[in-house]
Every structure is written in C-alpha cells, then in structure tokens.
Structure 1
Amino acid sequence: MFKRILVPIDGSVGAERALLKAVELQKLCGAEIIILTVFRHHSLLEDSLSMVRPTEPESIDDAQRRYAREIAEHAKAVATEAGAGAIRAFVKNGQPARAIIAFAKEHEADLIVLGSRGLGSVEGYLLGSVSHKVTALSDTPVLVI
C-alpha cells in the first residue's frame, strides 16, 4: 500500500496528531515514516530587525535551524514511543508548502500526512494554510488530520 509516509512537523498539536495517525498507518502497511521540519529563511534585514538579541552572535537562520532540529527530534521520540518502526527525520529551509512538495517528490513519498492547522501566522489566514497549499499543489496523495 504505502512504502514511505511523509509527515511535515511544525511543533503544533495538529502536527503531532497527524504524526500519530501516520504511526497507525505504518503499523498497517509497514511503511517508513519520514519526518520533515521546514523553517523559513530570514533576510539580513529581517535578521537585523529582530527583537531577540542573544549574548553570542547568532543569525536567525541558525536559531531557526536549531529549533527545527529540536522539533524533528521530539517528533521522532513521540513516534518511537507510539510504536513506530522505521523512521527518519529531516530539516529543510524554505517556503513550507513548496519545500514539503519538493521533498515528497525527492524521497518518493507515497503519502503526505499533515495537520489541518499548524503554527502559521496571520499570513496563513490571508494567503491560505500550508495544508491547503500542499493539498492543492501536490501530486502525492495527502491526508489532512
């Protein structure tokens, strides 16, 4: 049925529910679960306007990348605790919907399982959520939880 299930994770409750559903599907068909966390690149201008001033100089991209890794590792632990078998976790930067779709193609995912609402901003309400964009643009079947 499914060989590779891609689960985009952003740290939200909805994403975790989607992950647990993917674990259920994995148990039925023996697929590999691939966790993907996407963080958005910040320009130098956005970086310089940040209200956060760390004691050690660090770019916003580096902080976002580190946080994305923490989210991915936490999701991997949650899936393992729920009884997941084969599971891998990745972190990418870029526009979330496009990165998810490209990653699904690159890794030949048979199914994308994602939460209906994540940690999106006001931009998500105005321009459409990531789940909406992925379902509209992906050639890979999408299960929205």
Structure 2
Amino acid sequence: MFKRILVAVDGSTTSLKALDKAIEFQKLMPDTEIFILCVYKHHSLFEASLSIGRPVEMDIPDKVLSEYAKEVVSHAKDLAKERGATKVRGFVKAGRPSRVIVKFAQDKEADLIVVGTRGTHSDKEGVILGSVSHRVASHAKCPVLVV
C-alpha cells in the first residue's frame, strides 16, 4: 500500500508520535521506506544582523539551525531503529516548512506524509491544528496523516 512514507520531525513530542505511526505502518508493510525530514527556517544575513544583542563571535543562524536540525534527524533515526524500523533515511532542508515538506514529498514520490498536530510552538500559536500541519494537509498531492 505505502512504499515511501515521509515523516516531518522537529523534535517535538507530536512529531515523534508521528514517527511512531510511520513505524507501525512499516511493520505492517516491511518493504516501506521511511524518510525523516527536518526543515529549518532559512535566515538571511540581513535578518541575522538585526539581532539586538551581539556576541563577540556571531554564528550565522542558518548554521546553528542546520546543526540542530541534523541532531533532530539523527535522534529520530536512532529512535526509529530502536523501535524496530528497518529502512530509514534522514534529510535536512532549509525553507518554509510546509512548502518544503510538500515539495520533498513530491520529489521523493512519497505515498503518505505523517506529521504531528503541532510542532515546537506553544498551544496558543497552534490552537486546534498547527499551521504547518494544516498547510501540508491542504497542499499535499498524497494522503496526509496528522497525529
């Protein structure tokens, strides 16, 4: 049924629940491959220069966010393997999360996208359904499971 499942993760509890759901599907369909994707928001050098507090040595936000995203994907891959997943690949991309997730799913010909209801934002910012999961569900060409 599903050959390629894309799971969007951001380190939040709900994104890891989405990963668990993808693993359940893979156990039912062992030929299924899981793609774990973490998307970080790209910051221009101009945006970085607007910071009020300046450390002695300033890191470019993209570099810091990229490293964090890599850690999130690495952690998710480790969890997936611990929980019995077999075919798992991890990816990190920069950009607007909803757009990148939908495009990545199309490029990889994903049969299913699994996302958490809300990511790392507070409940106030994602009252019913998080904005990223809502946009992904609205624009994806394949089924989307919101966990």
Name the TM-score, length of structure 2 as normaliser: 0.90
Number of residue pairs matched? Answer: 143
Runs of 4+ in 1 over 6 A off after TM superposition: none
Letter in 1 for 2:2: F
Task: Measure the CA separation in 2 of the matches of 1:93 and 1:74.
Answer: 18
- Match of 2:3? 3
- Match of 1:20? 20
Name the TM-score, length of structure 1 as normaliser: 0.91
- Supply the RMSD in Å over aligned alpha carbons: 1.8
- Match of 2:141? 139
SS of residue matched to 2:46: helix
Percent of pairs with identical residues: 54
Superimposed CA distance per residue, residues 26-49 of structure 1 (whole angstroms, 9 cap, x where no aligned partner): 110121000000001112232123
Task: Measure the CA separation in 2 of the matches of 1:52 and 1:90.
Answer: 32
Q: Structure 1 residues 47-56 or 4-13, which shifts more? A: 47-56
The 1:51/1:86 distance shift into structure 2, 3 A limit, reads farther
Tell whether 2:80 aligns with 1:79.
Answer: yes
- Match of 1:90? 91
- Match of 2:61? 60
The 1:17/1:55 distance shift into structure 2, 3 A limit, reads farther
SS of residue matched to 2:65: helix
The 1:77/1:52 distance shift into structure 2, 3 A limit, reads farther
Judging by fraction of residues, say which structure has more helix.
1
Q: Name stretches of at least 5 consecutive residues in structure 2 with no aligned partner.
A: none
Task: Measure the CA separation in 1 of the matches of 2:114 and 2:43.
Answer: 27
Task: Measure the CA separation in 2 of the matches of 1:100 and 1:141.
Answer: 13
Deviation at 1:53, TM superposition (A): 4.8
Q: Name stretches of at least 5 consecutive residues in structure 1 with no aligned partner.
A: none
Letter in 2 for 1:19: L
Superimposed CA distance per residue, residues 100-143 of structure 1 (whole angstroms, 9 cap, x where no aligned partner): 00000000100001101111377666xx6100000011111101
Task: Measure the CA separation in 2 of the matches of 1:130 and 1:6.
Answer: 15
The 1:140/1:51 distance shift into structure 2, 3 A limit, reads farther
The 1:32/1:60 distance shift into structure 2, 3 A limit, reads same
Letter in 1 for 2:120: L
